[in-house]
C-alpha cells in the first residue's frame, strides 16, 4: 500500500534522531496493534533506542500495564485525549524511556459513534517532561486507518523529538 514506504522512511528518520540525541523510545498502542513498534524495530540498529513497547488493546491492559486511571477510562473512554496522555506517561515510566508514543482509536468497521466516528484516533507524544496530544479522523477501511495512524504517529513524534 501507499503508506508502507512513508512509514519505513519516517521510522528510519526517527531512529536516526533518537540515536543522535542518545534517547530511548517506547510505544503504547491500541488500535495500531504494535504497528508503530514494528516499524521502529524494522530499522537496523533500533536496539540502541528501544527496549520495550506495549500493546494495550483492552481498557484493563491500559489500566494495569500503563497506569491509566479507571476514572479516566470510565469518564472519557479509551479513545480520548485524556487516555492517550496517561498512556504516554505510563509507558514512559514503565519502560524508563525518554520518549513515548501513545495511540488509541477506532479503526472500524464498527465501534464508532456520532462523537467518535470510525477513523477517530488520538495520539500523544511524551518527550522528557513535555507531553502533547493530537487528534485525527482518517478515512478508509480498517487497514487504511491503521496505516495512516502509524504514519502519523511516527511523523508527529519525529517532529516533537527534533524540535
Q: What is the pLDDT of residues 136-154, one digit of tens each?
A: 999 999 999 999 999 999 9
* DSSP conformational letter for 127: E
1: confidence class by pLDDT, cuts 50, 70, 90: low
pLDDT for 163: 86
* DSSP conformational letter for 58: S
CA distance 41 to 47: 7
112: confidence class by pLDDT, cuts 50, 70, 90: confident
Cα 68 from chain centroid (whole Å): 15
Given a contact cutoff of 8 angstroms between Cβ atoms, the answer to whether 18 and 161 are in contact is: yes
Phi, psi of 63, rounded to the nearest 5 degrees: -70, -50
Q: Show the cell assigned to 40.
A: 521502529
Query: Exposure string (b/e) for 98-118, b if CB count within 10 Å is 16 or more?
Result: bbbbbbbbbbbeeebeeebeb
With a pLDDT cut of 90, the percent of the chain lying above it is 94
133: confidence class by pLDDT, cuts 50, 70, 90: very high
Q: Show the cell assigned to 120.
A: 477517530
- The runs of H, that is alpha helices, within the chain are 3-21, 35-41, 59-66, 70-76, 81-95, 142-162
21-30, 51-60, 104-113, range with the lowest pLDDT: 104-113
Amino acid at each position: 500500500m501507499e503508506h508502507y514506504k512513508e512509514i519505513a522512511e519516517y521510522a528510519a528518520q526517527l531512529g536516526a534522531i533518537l540515536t543522535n540525541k542518545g534517547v530511548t523510545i517506547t510505544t503504547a498502542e491500541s488500535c495500531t496493534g504494535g504497528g508503530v513498534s514494528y516499524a521502529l524495530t524494522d530499522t537496523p540498529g533500533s536496539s540502541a533506542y528501544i527496549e520495550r513497547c506495549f500493546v494495550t488493546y483492552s481498557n484493563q491492559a491500559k489500566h494495569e500495564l500503563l497506569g491509566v486511571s479507571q476514572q479516566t477510562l470510565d469518564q472519557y473512554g479509551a479513545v480520548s485525549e485524556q487516555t492517550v496522555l496517561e498512556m504516554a506517561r505510563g509507558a514512559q515510566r514503565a519502560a524508563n524511556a525518554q520518549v513515548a508514543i501513545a495511540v488509541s482509536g477506532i479503526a472500524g468497521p464498527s465501534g464508532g459513534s456520532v462523537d467518535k466516528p470510525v477513523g477517530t484516533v488520538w495520539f500523544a507524544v511524551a518527550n522528557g517532561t513535555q507531553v502533547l496530544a493530537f487528534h485525527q479522523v482518517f478515512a478508509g477501511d480498517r487497514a487504511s486507518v491503521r496505516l495512516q495512524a502509524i504514519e502519523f504517529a511516527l511523523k508527529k513524534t519525529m517532529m516533537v523529538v527534533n524540535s
